[in-house]
Amino acid sequence: MIKIKVKNFGPIKNGFTQSEDGFFEVGKLSIFVGNQGAGKSTVAKLISSFLWVEKVILSSEMNKNDISTKSFFKKLLAFHKIESYYSTESQIEFEDQYLKISIIDEKIQYEILNQEEYIRPQIQYIPAERNLVSVVNRFSQLRMLPDSLQNFLYAYDDAIRDTEMQNVESPIENLKVRYNKRKNKVEVFTNDYSLGLDSAASGFQSSIPLFIVSKYFSDSIKKRRNEYKFKSLAEEKKFYKDYSGIMKEKMNEYSKKTLEPFFDIPENDEPFYNMPVGDEPFYCEPETKDGDTFQKFLNRTLNSRFCNIVEEPELNLFPDSQKNIASFLIECLNGNKNNNLIITTHSPYVLETINNSIYAALLQKKGISVESIVPLLEQIEYENVSAYMVKNGEIFSIMVNDLKQIDPSEIDKCSEEINTIYSELIDMEVNNEN
């Protein structure tokens, strides 16, 4: 479980006031709602940034001296264009089971809690400006884009090129997606029409890039559980070198006969290919300490979970499509037990879809089969969900523990106000007739 504390950082002033220490929990699924400019995306961007810092620390991709500098901290915040939010009054802390991070004098200070158990994530921030990728083919020619958007552009480009996207069902009803390699463009089509994504409706231009990238990384993590293919020879050699150093003594404990059924043992330190990797260690019995050590090493070395951070999945979508895209994101979340999903939203339809997923999981746990209504992969247990309203510089929980639901009233107050105005107009008409 992730905990984070934010005070006096941009629009966030008092932060979370429902705990004595100011920390609030980020669950397997976390939702942040609030008015535009309230700070919900600010919180999501900080979580994304700290997850990335944790990754480079625990994967030993940077040394401590480089991380603990003011310039590194400023660059970290600049990635999401939030560097101006920091002041001497800011209080920012992050903690999970692996690492504790705090910001002191514009420098990152950290304490490693449990590096051995670390599960390396694929972290993807999907920004609200994502529809730009739908109308641009040559990303390398773009200049002066925010780093986070540039990062998403490259992730999208990798996704459409590395996957066989032909006749893929999208979350939007009756809409399919394919990649036209000859034209180098994504196309959407139904039984009645086909057109390039760059010519499609704004809702498609917003939702399809989200769909493609989320599906790509979710599927990649699932495939990683059975087989891992290195992206480059350099990556493969580095992995094998690290593996050899850590596991050499343990490998000697097992005979060649034990290993031969699974892969050819490389000789002279030559790299080997397509190592099968599953939920259970592949070269010894699951309960052995050595197998567990190797699996942990793989978890630290390879991206083994997906942290998906999505701004406003409902953008430009009809309510029914908002429901479908929310269900799709939960399905991606459930693709791996260690995945995380963080959503910022203005949509009551997204919240109510998640509430249905929570309720379905509760009924399923009671032995009431509801799979025909809400499929298992679209269900999520209440204990794995956290939801917060960000308002007037404060963050507060909108989870209703008695009902085991998210309270949508804060986000849907406008409907009440609209209905009140309508009632008042009716009263005025009636009074005028009298």
How many Å apart are CA 136 and CA 151, to the nearest integer? 14
Beta strands at 194-196 and 185-189: parallel, antiparallel or unpaired? antiparallel
Which comes out higher in pLDDT, residue 328 or 412?
328
Which comes out higher in pLDDT, residue 308 or 172?
308
pLDDT of amino acid 418: 84
Q: Which long-range contacts link 224-230 to residues 24+ away (Cβ below 8 Å)?
A: 224/277, 224/302, 224/303, 224/304, 225/277, 225/278, 225/279, 225/304, 225/336, 226/276, 226/277, 226/278, 227/274, 227/275, 227/276, 227/277, 228/274, 228/275, 228/277, 228/298, 228/302, 229/273, 229/274, 230/273
How many Å apart are CA 105 and CA 76, to the nearest integer? 15
Decide if pLDDT at 244 tops 70. Answer: no
Q: Which of 52-66, 135-149, 205-219 shows the lowest per-residue confidence on average (mean pLDDT)?
A: 135-149
pLDDT of amino acid 386: 97
What letter represents residue 80's amino acid? H
Q: Mean of the pLDDT values across residues 410-423?
A: 82
Q: Mean of the pLDDT values across residues 194-213?
A: 93
Decide if pLDDT at 380 tops 80. Answer: yes
Report the sign of the C-alpha dihedral through residues 314, 315, 318, 321, in that order.
negative
Q: How confident is the model at residue 238 (pLDDT cuts 50, 70, 90)?
A: low
Which residues, in sequence order, are CB contacts of 355 under 8 Å at separation 6+? 405, 406, 408
Q: How confident is the model at residue 66 (pLDDT cuts 50, 70, 90)?
A: confident
Decide if pLDDT at 157 tops 90. Answer: no
Strands of 192-299 (E only): list them.
Answer: 194-196
Query: For the whole prediction, is pTM greater than 0.75?
Result: yes
pLDDT of amino acid 237: 60
- List, for residues 304-328, the tens digit of each pLDDT value: 999 999 999 999 999 999 999 999 9
User: What SS3 state is found at 125?
Assistant: strand
How many Å apart are CA 80 and CA 76, to the nearest integer? 8
User: What SS3 state is found at 210?
Assistant: helix
Decide if pLDDT at 61 tops 70. Answer: yes
Strand partners, 308: 124, 341
Is residue 301 within 8 A of residue 242, CB to CB? The reply is yes
How many Å apart are CA 367 and CA 42, to the nearest integer? 40
- Token pair recorded at residue 295: 């699996």
Is residue 406 within 8 A of residue 345, CB to CB? The reply is no
Is residue 387 within 8 A of residue 30, CB to CB? The reply is yes
pLDDT of amino acid 434: 67
Q: Mean of the pLDDT values across residues 210-226?
A: 86
- List, for residues 283-305, the tens digit of each pLDDT value: 333 334 444 566 777 788 888 99
Is residue 353 within 8 A of residue 55, CB to CB? The reply is no
How many Å apart are CA 188 and CA 196, to the nearest integer? 6
Residue among 117, 62, 42 at smallest CA distance from 292: 117
Decide if pLDDT at 260 tops 80. Answer: no
Q: Mean of the pLDDT values across residues 206-214?
A: 95
Which comes out higher in pLDDT, residue 218 or 285?
218
Strands of 149-204 (E only): list them.
Answer: 168-169, 176-180, 185-189, 194-196
pLDDT of amino acid 60: 76
